[in-house]
Amino acid sequence: MPSFRDSRTVPQSPEAMFALVADVERYPEFLPLCESLKIRRRAQSGEGVETLVADMGVGYKSIRENFTSRVTLDRPRLKILVEYVDGPFRYLENRWTFRPIEGGGCTVDFYITYEFKSFALKLLMGALFDKAFARFADAFVARAASIYGKGGPLTAPV
């Protein structure tokens, strides 16, 4: 199964980066290939964990696909888990973790693994997705610098 892993050290706090990644509705503004994102459902637990069900539309040139995923935003543990629900994949899961580093800033770890249902779609989209994932980390780092500044806040915006 294809997978991609990236780890970046950024000047922003773990809480600020968590907030940026958790703001999924803004993805179409800056994330490569992401054309639309709609939240179907939100559910809060009493422990600071929120679960979303979201539809994402991705596209490149004449290729368009939509898929649904469940996103678990675990603010107390600074972790985000995305699990596939429906669409062109056989399997998709990605995980984000945000770890503080001494002296400020944090390390952002991103991991995704996926498999397309259709062999034809795998051939058509596989190489494109691999390149896009490599650009995703850059897009989030650039978004953080744009929103928080290059030095970044010590805490997330309220």
The DSSP code sequence of 5-67 is: EEEEEESS-HHHHHHHHH-GGGHHHHSTTEEEEEEEEEEE-TTSEEEEEEEEEEEETTEEEEE
Q: What is the 8-class DSSP label of residue 91? A: E
Q: From first to last of its 158 residues, what are the pLDDT tens digits of the chain?
A: 788 899 999 999 999 999 999 999 999 999 988 999 999 999 998 789 999 999 999 887 777 888 999 999 999 999 999 999 998 888 999 999 999 999 999 999 999 998 888 777 676 666 666 677 778 888 999 999 999 886 554 444 43
Rounded CA separation 95/32 (Å): 18
Q: How far is CA 131 from CA 115, 127, 138, in A?
A: 15, 6, 12
How many Å apart are CA 59 and CA 128, to the nearest integer? 10
pLDDT for the residue 96 = 97
All domains in the chain, ordered by first residue: 3-148 (3.30.530.20)
64 vs 99: CA distance, rounded Å: 35
